[in-house]
Chain A
Amino acid sequence: MRRGLLRAAGTALLLAAVLVSWNRAGEKAPFTRECMFYQKLPEGQVQCRICPRQCVIAEGRRGFCGVRQNSGGRLYLVTYGKPCSVGVEPIEKAPFFHFHPGHRRLVLATVGCNLRCRFCQNWSISQAVFEEAGHYELSPEAVVELALKEKAYSICFTFTEPVVYYEYMYDIARLARRRGLKTAVVSAGYINPEPLQELLKVVDAVKIDLKAFTEKFYEEMAAADLEPVLNTIKAVKKSGRWLEIVNLVIPGRNDAPRDLERMCRWIKDNAGPDVPVHFTRFFPSYRLTSVPPTPVETLERAYRTARAAGLRYVYVGNVPGHALENTVCPKCGKTLIERKGFQVVADRLKNGRCPFCGEAIRGLW
């Protein structure tokens, strides 16, 4: 209890220092970072190469994401050093279940997104215009210092799509690594191969939000394509960085048993049987106001499908107290990590192995 109070007090003091730098909406600040992946085109245009959209951007305009701007024939990241959201949370909220469970992470996000998901939980920032939302002034150095002072174990880029503030994320990750901090990315995986490869050199873990396994869903519900996301999953796996996959199951949209089965088989074949897969429950959000929450039975069916496909670590999410939130040894079936909501209430792993049968449990522990 005392430790909890001390931690809370520490958090308060440190975040207070950050929050005083909060800028109200509309206050302008100069761009500070040129984008890493883009090509100059004739007549002052540029082509962004960060994601598969490959936006061609005229002078003074911004790309689809709303945060990468052509200024004087060069592409700049408008939100560099200007996160709209900073906090300290449990890593389980990501959800990351095999990446140092129970630790506290510094979470960070800027406005903007390169997708248009109709069920986005963070639409107020992902779809916001930068100038209309408030932001903090926080350089990469300041972010790392804050994480260290806060005794966060990792820095997690989340809430909105980190791909759109790539340079900010990249610089923070490089600095964090030098200072001994882990970094994790929560992304939809809609990124081009080249920037992805560069990013994977500096981050430790990636969670990919695989929204569905049909092109139709991606087109209609997210204004994107499935193929680049699958390529990202393969590339992350190949890089050796820790990978977890989340699938938000939306009733009547992406819960067809056949599609789920195809998806699970694909994951096993391309990302391996040890990649943790989370099937999370949908609740009405953003524009999908009339879709009912996912039945728990549907999530359990998805779990069975995934296990039958050969995946060894499968979870059900957004159903607090459900037994399938726990980590179970795939060999002996004993419960190894017990969770309640976002909290780890028991961790029985011994050096990354099941204490009951000795089975090695894949993850970063």
Chain B
Amino acid sequence: MTFIAVLLVLGASGLVGQILLLRELLVVFSGNELSIGIVLGNWLVLEALGCFLAGRIWARSERPALAFAVCQAFFAAALPAALYAARMLRDLCGVAQGEGFGVAAMLVSSLLLLACVSAPHGALFALACRMRLSGRGGPGAGGFVYGWETLGTLAGGLILTFLLIPRFHSFRIVLALSSLNLLFCLVVLSGAARPGRSLGPACGLGALAVAALAFGPAADSVHWRSVRRQWTGHEVVLYENSVYGNVTVLQDAGQFTFLADGVPVVTAPVPDLEFVEELAHFALLAHPNPREVLVLSGGAGGLLRETLKHPAARVDYAELDPLLLAALARFPTPLTESELKDPRVVVHEVDGRLLVKTSQRRYDVILIGAPRPSNLAVNRLFTREFFALARSRLKAGGLLAFSLPGSTAFMEKNLARLNSCLLQTAAGVFGHVRPIPGDRNLFLASDSDAIVRLDAGVLARRLRERRIRTGFVGGEQLAFRLEDQWTRMLRDFLAPVRAEAGINRDFSPRAVLHDLANWNAMFSPPAARLSAWAEALTLPRLAAFLAALTLALLVFHFRVRSLSGAAVPAAIAATGFGGMVYNISLTFAFQALYGYVYLWIGLLVSVFMAGAAGASLWVGSVPPVTRVSTRRAFIALEVALVLFSAALPMTFHWLARSPLADRLLQGAFLVLCLMSGGLTGAQFPLACRLRDCGPAGLYSCDLLGGWLGGIVGGAVLLPVLGLEAACLCVALLKLCSLALTALAVPPEGAA
């Protein structure tokens, strides 16, 4: 029982440390999809490295418990230090305050920062396996440790997300976790045959001391000191995490700036007038009588105020993160107060897409306030499927408006692709799309051709008739923005990239790809070239490459040197890759189809991990019969993974078009998560038996595969090829590993 508790703490500690550091780094890296992939990827790589090295170093150790306790104590000490260093990262890397990081800087800095935490955590897995082996283990030790550690991960994730994050800041959580780990050092040492003499009392005292820090005022002091260092030059009045992300509020000379994951999203009392006035007034003036308006994200801080200057009787405003709305209420300004307390404004603390999907209300104008599709979650407001949904919620003559970064000087190639992609996407859904080019391009989409016929005279007349007072948008500005020279300039920028821009779909988020490429061009031109290369990727090319690679490996195996020892680890790496791609795909598809429901996302991931843990423990507990039967079971699982991967795209399509009730379909997603988790988790104990050696190396392969799945799957396959093709890639990859396993792993004898 004690050992199981140790494993549960091990799993929970890894996940809590990973998530908290990821959140901190996201704030520093002004989080986008790529930074998430890089941080998670680095964590997995380092964990794999720690596991591999520990497996090597302590392979024959007679005192694995002592080594385990030392590693755990190191992990406990390193975690709070890493958290503090994460907030100091700009200073440590010589990056200016407020400046973003390039890809290379993100990669290297997060690698160094995480090394002292994730590597020892990986080592703990290898040592736990060794402890199990030296106890009453055997070939099932790996599966046993893997299973319980995964369950610990699951528990840690749930507790952190729903209990700890809403109540405590990161330092308090991390210090409490360190204290718990030091306590378990004691537990491990007390159970050891020959405990270290001095380490036990030290761990005990350390646990007490850290606990005192965690639950006393010192944690607050350290927390605020590090936050102030992170935002040198600004007064931080709020720094809190919600389940959706970090919200920080800076106060300076009477101005409040509200940041989400380190990026300013609301500035009050004086917002970016050019942005809010142009989006609101061009859209609302384009409609002869906008009575009912829907604002999706980014409404507070100017957009609502400008909207309310029109004859709107009701303005529905959807904002995902309740913490942001709470922060706006806690630090009120005349602007935000007047907006959010206006009786015509109905605030919905919900994902905008979910609101559009579930509400039957119809609108004259729908405004998308999100500035750009910078990640997969936001992209769901810019896809063909969403545009179709929004179109169905518009009254006759209604219009949808959104804006994107543009330029009247010159448009960077990837920015042009982003604009072209969304212009084509909207044009494929609506009868008419009217781009209004500028430093921010506005797009009005409607089935009514009135938006095409609009001229500055009509807009100026409506502005006068509605007696709207503005700071920026006036008669001449309206005429200037509608001048033909800008339309021609935009056409000129977009024409060369039209073919490669593509359509932005739920299951093929091209806009995210273009936005990431634009971000790379800004921060890291070499990475931009890499992403251009990645864009050339197609499923047939990938299939040809994998087929050629498999063939070459098989030729090498039969003609040069046996690869029987490498086939199983390769299969486990491919499964780790697949597991990560399944996870991302299922979460992403669920988000796209049913809206951003954080509890559901947590549930999906939990069910996936429960499936993995359950299958691993179950398969590990079945006594091995013969190597032949183990091999047969392993290959059967390989076949199952190929079929599952190939079937997943069809399942997604069926789910997207199914007439069944949402609840049933959501249940189907849970089943899919359980299946994918089960299939990936079940392979590990079989692989341990088949390899007949320590599980550390296999675990490293699993993590490396997961790392590749996170980075390549999340940042390349999904945006470039789309959801269906990403799953088919996994099918192809597993087909290759199946061929390799079936042909290279002998039925008899040690591998």
Contact = CB atoms under 8 A, between A and B. Distances in A.
A290 B98 contact: yes
A193 B273 CA distance: 40
A162 to B, nearest CB: 13
Interface residues of B, number: 57
Nearest to A284: B264
B486 to A, nearest CB: 8
A284 B266 CA distance: 12
Contacts of A87: 408-409, 485-486, 489
Contacts of A9: 484
Nearest to B97: A252
A156 to B, nearest CB: 12
A251 B234 contact: yes
A295 B98 contact: no
Contact of B267 (A118, A292, A345): A292
B479 interface: yes
Contact of B273 (A1, A5, A122, A319): A319
A343 B476 contact: yes
What's the interface size class on A, roughly? 35 or more
Contact of A293 (B30, B264, B413, B474): B264
B410 interface: yes
B277 A12 contact: no
Interface stretch (B123-131, B247-255, B650-658, B706-714): B247-255
Contacts of A16: 488
Interface string A306-339: 0000000000001111100000000000000000
B376 interface: no
Contact of A22 (B274, B413, B492): B492
A111 B413 CA distance: 14
Contacts of A88: 483, 485
Q: Which of A25, A123, A284 has the most CB of B within 10 A?
A: A284
A301 interface: yes
Given A89-B408, A284-B264, A134 B496 contact: yes
A153 interface: no
A341 interface: yes
A84 B410 contact: yes
Given A12-B484, A297-B255, A321 B492 contact: no
Given A124-B521, A292-B252, A343-B476, A283 B98 contact: no
A42 to B, nearest CB: 33
B320 interface: no
B479 A19 contact: no
A81 B259 CA distance: 44
Nearest to A2: B457
Nearest to A321: B471
B472 A321 contact: yes
Contacts of A322: 471
A297 B254 contact: yes
A122 B439 CA distance: 10
A296 B97 contact: no
A297 B253 contact: yes
Contacts of B255: 292-293, 295-297
A289 interface: yes
A89 B408 CA distance: 10
B477 interface: yes
A291 B98 contact: yes
A32 to B, nearest CB: 21
A8 interface: yes
B410 A122 contact: yes
Given A4-B479, A87-B489, A221-B96, A283 B254 contact: no
A292 B496 CA distance: 35
B488 A293 contact: no
B66 to A, nearest CB: 45
B89 to A, nearest CB: 12
Contacts of B264: 284, 290-293
A345 B469 CA distance: 14
A4 B474 CA distance: 14
Contacts of B99: 118, 287-290
A301 to B, nearest CB: 7
B233 interface: yes
Interface in B251-295: 252-255, 257, 259, 262-264, 267, 270, 272-274, 277
B331 interface: no
A175 interface: no
Contacts of B448: none
Interface string A266-308: 0000000000000000011011111111011110010000000
Given A85-B410, A289-B99, A292-B252, A341 B484 contact: no
B226 interface: no
A296 B270 contact: yes
B523 interface: yes
B485 A11 contact: yes
A128 B521 CA distance: 9
Given A134-B496, A252-B234, A321-B273, A288 B412 contact: no
B272 A283 contact: yes
Contacts of A89: 408, 480
Nearest to A220: B96
A109 interface: yes
Nearest to A13: B484
Contacts of B112: none
A15 interface: yes
A118 B96 contact: yes
A125 interface: yes
Nearest to B412: A124
B36 to A, nearest CB: 16
B472 A320 contact: yes
A342 interface: yes
A320 B471 contact: yes
A322 B269 CA distance: 13
B100 interface: yes
B415 interface: yes
B528 to A, nearest CB: 10
A25 to B, nearest CB: 7
Interface in B471-510: 471-474, 476-477, 479-480, 482-486, 488-489, 492, 496
Q: Which of B264, B277, B473 has the most CB of A within 10 A?
A: B264
Contact of A320 (B96, B277, B410): B277
Nearest to A286: B522
B530 to A, nearest CB: 15
B488 A343 contact: no
A118 B522 CA distance: 10
Contacts of B347: none
A295 B252 contact: yes
B366 to A, nearest CB: 25
Given A88-B485, A252-B234, A125 B410 contact: yes
Contacts of A345: 474, 476
Contacts of A132: 413
B281 to A, nearest CB: 12
A341 B471 contact: yes
The 7 closest A-B pairs by CB, nearest first: A321-B471, A252-B233, A12-B484, A291-B98, A320-B472, A292-B257, A295-B255
22 contacts: A5-B457, A12-B484, A109-B410, A124-B407, A124-B410, A124-B521, A128-B412, A134-B496, A251-B233, A289-B262, A290-B98, A290-B262, A292-B234, A293-B267, A295-B254, A296-B270, A297-B253, A320-B277, A321-B471, A322-B471, A340-B470, A342-B480
Interface of B: 30, 96-100, 232-234, 250, 252-255, 257, 259, 262-264, 267, 270, 272-274, 277, 407-413, 415, 455-457, 470-474, 476-477, 479-480, 482-486, 488-489, 492, 496, 521-523
Interface of A: 1, 4-5, 8-9, 11-12, 15-16, 19, 22, 24-25, 84-85, 87-90, 107, 109, 111, 118, 122-125, 128, 132-134, 159, 220-221, 251-253, 283-284, 286-293, 295-298, 301, 318-322, 340-343, 345
Given A295-B252, A298-B253, A319-B270, 11 more contacts: A1-B457, A19-B488, A109-B409, A109-B410, A251-B233, A252-B233, A253-B233, A286-B522, A292-B257, A321-B273, A321-B472
